[in-house]
Structure 1
Amino acid sequence: MPRHHLTQRHKAQKEQNHLWELPSGSHVWVYLRHSPGDKQTIQSQAVEMQKWCADSNWIIERMFVDEAMEGSREDRPQFQEMLRLSRHEPQPVQGIVLWSLSRFARDQLDSQFYKAELRKRGYAVISKVDDVPNNEMAPIYEAFIDWKNQRFLDDLATDVRRGLTYIVGQGYWPSSVPPRGYRSERVEIGYRHNGDVRYGQTLIKDEAWFNMVSLAWKMKLESNASYFDIHETTHLYKVPSTYGLMFNNLIYAGVFVYGGVKYPMNWQDGERFCEPYITLEDFQKVQENRLRRSFSMIHPRALVSHYLLSGLAYCGCCEDAERKSKLLGQNDNRTPDYRYYKCSERKNTRSRQCTMPVISCWRLDEAVIDLLRQHVFTPEYIASELQLVQQELDKKIDHSHDQVQQLTPLVQAQQSKVESLIELITRKGMTPILEKQYDVANQEWQRLSAQLTQAKQQAENAQDPVGYQLDAQMLLNDALEIVDQKDIPQKRDLIAHFVERIVVYPDRIIVYFKFRVDDDMTHERVAHLDSSPLRQSLVYVLHPPVAIKLIRRGGRDGCRCDVDQRGVGTRG
């Protein structure tokens, strides 16, 4: 095709893309959407749209209807079907007409993106309610309408959260579906502005599920039964994996976690949101039992990663927002020598909710290494740890000796009983009763003998750790040598032996150790409260936290990491 004709064709297509009107006789699709709870019905929209199209002399080829679907969702079936058909060639219709732009999409970005795609393909997208002029000001009008629709969605979400938070604060359940083992009971809590009665829902134990839910908690608490065994016994849910959510839910201890806040506000004083199935102390024991059955999985990429803290560093901003997101190491394509950590939530989803900036690798890596140098890889810490080991071994030795003293007479008595039965069988002959008595006595004797042998071995294996002082010093020197090397996998493996995870904030980090930290440091054992339950991490958190002050001086090369006395040192 000659260049002149191509140019004219492109101009005509651009003019079509900017049309906010359709000529008489055009073939159109009608898209209708109805939000859950809207007072306006689909039928009323459909009647009005048919009348409008008839008055405009447009021919309706098809109506796409999404009923009871939020405008913030992209996965609306009829909406996606309309987009799929719009990509066919030749163009099936000339335009798509809507009741309002808010019916098309509530999200500002989604609305502008999909309208641009449709108009790029030659479709006119027209709203009946929104008065958008067909001139050069049309994009500005439409952009303002999209912003208003997004603002309405945000304000509505804020109002709903505020209302539900108030309801929860008053002690009422905010959802229509109660947890398994409870049922909701509707009660009057006041009156609306129009005089209608306002109702709330309180949680009470469901008699139909009470025994099975109580049994499930008892099995997990006393015998640390697996989810599969609990499922085979109780059949509370369809699949065994769902029991993890139940054992992770503080509501069964009478504490409701909503929006990251625990209700009632004075739950620590003994007040409860509803009648509990177990106590908080038993709930914490269940979490410890779950940890004993759990295992940590490390992605194979983290094992060969070229970044020191891969798999250990987590985003503190996302954690505060009840999301768990790791920090991923990356290289800057413009300057390959610049390496940094970035929140995986921001990297993978481009989330605007995470405010965590990128952090240079050298700043975070050296801060953690300096912390280990000052408080872990020291002779003083080794000495204190050996002293603790000595104390623990003394306790084990005393316990083993006590066991030996208790088990020795029991073994001797049971052995005499077995010998007496053998002598009786030799004189009288074997009978079914004697055979049964002998089997029971012999099994008990073997069980007690095994316990006695184990207790003696534990007493013999409990040695004085002072003799290992030289070996400990050699291990310390080896650890410091690994830290000084540039072998990232070895260095990361060494850090992983001491550090469970590192929560990174824009201005500080919190390091969770797998062991006791030095007594000279201020530390406390804490029960770490995460998004849903009171889950004990069983770690020691530096308190005050290790504070890394990240200060930018000029450009990237001017970044400076100053760590105060609570932290790990200073780097210029």
Structure 2
Amino acid sequence: MPRFEVTERRKAQKEQQRRWDLPAGSRLWAYVRHSPGEKQTIDSQIAGMRDWFTENGWVLERTFADEALEGSREDRAQFQAMIALARQGARQVDGIALWSFARFARDQLDAQFYKAELRKLGYVLISKVDDVPNNEMAPIYEAFIDWKNQRFLEDLSSDVKRGLSFVVDQGYWPGGTVPVGYRVEKVEVGKRHNGEARMGNHLVKDEELAARVLLAWRMKLDDNASYLAIHEATHLYSDSKHYSDFFDNLLYAGIFKYHGIRYPATWEDGGRFCEAYISLEEFLQVQANRQKRTRQATHPRSLSSGYLLTGLLYCGVCSAHGKPTTLVGQTDTRRPDTRVYRCSTKIRDRGTACSLPRIPCWRLDGAVVDMLRQHVLTEEYVRAEVERANTILAQSTTTVDVQLEEASRLAKLQQKKVENIVELIGKFGMTDILQAQYDSANRAWLEATSRMNSLKAQSLQNRVRRISMADAQRMLAEMGQTLTDGTLTAQQELVRRFIDRIDVFPDRIDVHFKFRMDAFSQAMSGLTVEETEQKEEGSDVRSLRQVYGRCPHARTLRRAVKHRRSASVYRSGSASVYPWRA
């Protein structure tokens, strides 16, 4: 096509984009919308638009209406249908009429983006409510209107949140679904401007569900029962998976967490938002019980790894920057006997993504194993732990025996009650009252029996689990033997039994255990260097990297191998890990 024709076509398109007026007879689409809760309805907007069209002599081709949808949402069905239709080929109508630019969009960027796109396609945009001149100044006026519309939405959201927070601070429920076990009780809290009563929602216990809710918490608190067992006993929800949110809710302890703030403000001093089912201490105990039933999944690659500490190592440098990253084991393809741990972020991004250098496997593995031998797998520590465990078991057995005696007595009483009701049914026949009494008594008997059986199993387990010092010493010797010449799988299992994670830094490692460590005055950390003569397994001659790890000044240290400079491994202390950084 000749350049002249291309230029003329572009000029024509520009002229179409600069159209502002809509003469009589123009064909238009209309777009209307209203948000949830607004008094103005779609029907009133459509009726007003039709009158406006009649006054100006325009032809209404189609109306796009989004009902009960916020203007801040971009995924409005009719709005997107209108935009998609406008994008299809040649311009289908002369323009689009809006009730107001606030109806079009309340997000400033969305409004400007879609209006600019429609105008580039040749559509004229006009608002019934907003007083905007139909000329080149229209986009400037509209920019202020769009800002005002978005600001109105932000101010409205802020005002609503402030008002609801004030309602909660006064001890009233802000609205929404009420947790199971509670119901709303209307309370007059003041008068409106028109003299009508202003009502507040006060949470009270639901008498119909209170017993079952309390039973669910007691089962989790006393027996650490599973969600399935609690569901079968209470049927508070349609499915057992909902009990996770149930036990997460601090409201059952009388404390309401709203927008990240706990109400009432005096909750630490004993103040409560509503009547509680359990105390705060019991709620915390339930969370600890739930944690005991949590299974920590281990990736299959970690289970089949050929490195001792795979899955336990985390880069302390990356974690300090808010990006928790694991360390992975690698083997040098040129030197099969050279094995190191590297930060996975550094492997993936390279460069200066992480300052943690490569760490030889034998160095880190040896440090962890030595720590277990010197501080955990010792006769003194094991003796102290055995005595403590037996003391706890003895106290637990005494407590369980008392509870078992009470549970057995209660189960017999409930069984006798069920037998009496069955006898009455045999004499007088089944009635609605007897049916209800039988169902209630039978449920109570089953719950009491279930608790009694659970306490019996717990009492028997406590008696069986008594630990003798001889058994502890035998297990201690077996674990020491495993660390010395056991298989890699056995060593990995043993290490993971004691250690939860290891944070590795350039100058130390921090070890997090899965149990109490009273033998230490502080957390086990600061593992640094000690001179020793260790070699990588299977290696007769050690390279410089095997001795020192990856050194930025390796070229200047090549002669060190000839002088048999000693290797360095981690242990407890406070020196520097790498000799060139000492």
Q: In the alignment, is the contact (CA less than 8 A) between 1:32 and 1:46 conserved in 2?
A: yes
Q: What is the CA-CA distance between 1:111 and the residue it aligns to? A: 2.0
Q: What CA deviation, in whole Å up to 9, does each residue of 1:212-235 have, x standing for no partner?
A: 322332333333333333334433
Q: What is the CA-CA distance between 1:123 and the residue it aligns to? A: 2.7
Q: In the alignment, is the contact (CA less than 8 A) between 1:389 and 1:465 conserved in 2?
A: no
Distance 1:9 1:465, change over 3 A: same
Structure 1: gaps (5+ residues): 318-327, 341-360, 367-372, 405-446, 479-489, 503-509, 524-567
The one-letter amino acid of 2:69's match is M
Q: Does 1:392 align with 2:385?
A: yes
In 2, Cα distance between equivalents of 1:251 and 1:51 = 54
Distance 1:272 1:120, change over 3 A: same
Q: Does 1:146 align with 2:146?
A: yes
Q: What is the CA-CA distance between 1:313 and the residue it aligns to? A: 5.0
2:331 maps to: none
The one-letter amino acid of 1:240's match is S
Q: Does 1:226 align with 2:211?
A: no
Q: How does 1:128-139 map to 2 (within 5 A)?
A: 128-139=128-139
Q: What is the CA-CA distance between 1:332 and the residue it aligns to? A: 13
SS in structure 2 at match of 1:190: strand
Q: How does 1:438-477 map to 2 (within 5 A)?
A: 454-455=464-465, 460-463=470-473
Distance 1:9 1:181, change over 3 A: farther
In 2, Cα distance between equivalents of 1:501 and 1:154 = 43
In 2, Cα distance between equivalents of 1:511 and 1:127 = 66
The one-letter amino acid of 1:290's match is R
1:35 maps to: 35
2:161 maps to: 161
Distance 1:516 1:199, change over 3 A: same
| Identity across the alignment (%) | 48
Distance 1:474 1:103, change over 3 A: farther
Distance 1:11 1:263, change over 3 A: same
Distance 1:396 1:256, change over 3 A: closer
Q: In the alignment, is the contact (CA less than 8 A) between 2:386 and 2:469 conserved in 1?
A: no
The one-letter amino acid of 1:394's match is E
In 2, Cα distance between equivalents of 1:6 and 1:331 = 53
1:295 maps to: 295
1:256 maps to: 256
The one-letter amino acid of 1:395's match is R
Distance 1:29 1:402, change over 3 A: closer
Q: What CA deviation, in whole Å up to 9, does each residue of 1:470-513 have, x standing for no partner?
A: 889989xx9xxxxxxxxxxx9xx99x9544999xxxxxxx9987
In 2, Cα distance between equivalents of 1:244 and 1:30 = 48
In 2, Cα distance between equivalents of 1:501 and 1:194 = 65
Q: What is the CA-CA distance between 1:392 and the residue it aligns to? A: 0.8
Q: What is the CA-CA distance between 1:16 and the residue it aligns to? A: 3.1
In 1, Cα distance between equivalents of 2:396 and 2:161 = 59
Q: Does 1:197 align with 2:159?
A: no
Q: How does 1:352-363 map to 2 (within 5 A)?
A: 361-362=354-355
In 2, Cα distance between equivalents of 1:179 and 1:298 = 35
Q: What CA deviation, in whole Å up to 9, does each residue of 1:6-62 have, x standing for no partner?
A: 333333334433444434322222111111222322222222211222223221122
Q: What is the CA-CA distance between 1:451 and the residue it aligns to? A: 6.6
Q: What is the CA-CA distance between 1:521 and the residue it aligns to? A: 4.0
Q: How does 1:556-567 map to 2 (within 5 A)?
A: none
Moved more, 14-23 or 263-272: 14-23
SS in structure 2 at match of 1:211: helix
Distance 1:192 1:117, change over 3 A: same
Q: In the alignment, is the contact (CA less than 8 A) between 2:20 and 2:124 conserved in 1?
A: yes
Q: What is the CA-CA distance between 1:100 and the residue it aligns to? A: 1.2
In 2, Cα distance between equivalents of 1:46 and 1:499 = 64
Q: What CA deviation, in whole Å up to 9, does each residue of 1:125-171 have, x standing for no partner?
A: 32222233344433332222222111111111111111111111111
Q: What is the CA-CA distance between 1:378 and the residue it aligns to? A: 11
Q: In the alignment, is the contact (CA less than 8 A) between 2:499 and 2:512 conserved in 1?
A: no
Q: What is the CA-CA distance between 1:203 and the residue it aligns to? A: 0.1
In 2, Cα distance between equivalents of 1:517 and 1:398 = 18
Q: How does 1:41-190 map to 2 (within 5 A)?
A: 41-190=41-190
Q: In the alignment, is the contact (CA less than 8 A) between 1:401 and 1:459 conserved in 2?
A: no
State the TM-score, normalized to the length of structure 1.
Answer: 0.61
In 1, Cα distance between equivalents of 2:479 and 2:232 = 51
The one-letter amino acid of 2:212's match is M
Q: In the alignment, is the contact (CA less than 8 A) between 1:31 and 1:96 conserved in 2?
A: yes
Q: How does 1:294-333 map to 2 (within 5 A)?
A: 294-297=294-297, 309=315, 313=319
Q: What CA deviation, in whole Å up to 9, does each residue of 1:296-334 have, x standing for no partner?
A: 4578999999x9659x959979xxxxxxxxxx987999x
Q: What is the CA-CA distance between 1:515 and the residue it aligns to? A: 5.2
Q: In the alignment, is the contact (CA less than 8 A) between 2:171 and 2:202 conserved in 1?
A: yes
1:276 maps to: 276
2:538 maps to: none
Q: What is the CA-CA distance between 1:89 and the residue it aligns to? A: 3.2
Distance 1:239 1:511, change over 3 A: farther
Q: What CA deviation, in whole Å up to 9, does each residue of 1:212-265 have, x standing for no partner?
A: 322332333333333333334433233332221111101111110011111111
Distance 1:196 1:516, change over 3 A: same
The one-letter amino acid of 1:46's match is I
State the TM-score, normalized to the length of structure 2.
Answer: 0.60
2:330 maps to: none
In 2, Cα distance between equivalents of 1:176 and 1:397 = 50
1:213 maps to: 213
Distance 1:240 1:403, change over 3 A: closer
Q: In the alignment, is the contact (CA less than 8 A) between 1:32 and 1:64 conserved in 2?
A: yes
Q: In the alignment, is the contact (CA less than 8 A) between 1:500 and 1:514 conserved in 2?
A: no
Q: In the alignment, is the contact (CA less than 8 A) between 2:390 and 2:466 conserved in 1?
A: no
Distance 1:212 1:465, change over 3 A: closer
In 2, Cα distance between equivalents of 1:225 and 1:316 = 36
Moved more, 450-459 or 67-76: 450-459
Structure 2: gaps (5+ residues): 324-342, 358-363, 398-456, 505-509, 525-575
SS in structure 2 at match of 1:148: helix
In our comparison, the structure showing a higher alpha carbon Rg is: 2
The one-letter amino acid of 1:226's match is S
Distance 1:522 1:227, change over 3 A: closer
Q: What CA deviation, in whole Å up to 9, does each residue of 1:324-378 have, x standing for no partner?
A: xxxx987999xx64465xxxxxxxxxxxxxxxxxxxx33xx68xxxxxx9xx969
Q: What CA deviation, in whole Å up to 9, does each residue of 1:155-195 have, x standing for no partner?
A: 11111111111111111110143111111111111234454
Q: What CA deviation, in whole Å up to 9, does each residue of 1:405-449 have, x standing for no partner?
A: xxxxxxxxxxxxxxxxxxxxxxxxxxxxxxxxxxxxxxxxxx99x
Q: In the alignment, is the contact (CA less than 8 A) between 1:219 and 1:225 conserved in 2?
A: yes
In 1, Cα distance between equivalents of 2:395 and 2:271 = 43
The one-letter amino acid of 1:254's match is G
Distance 1:117 1:229, change over 3 A: farther
Q: What is the CA-CA distance between 1:393 and the residue it aligns to? A: 2.3
The one-letter amino acid of 2:25's match is G
In 2, Cα distance between equivalents of 1:57 and 1:92 = 18
In 2, Cα distance between equivalents of 1:144 and 1:332 = 50
Q: In the alignment, is the contact (CA less than 8 A) between 1:390 and 1:465 conserved in 2?
A: no
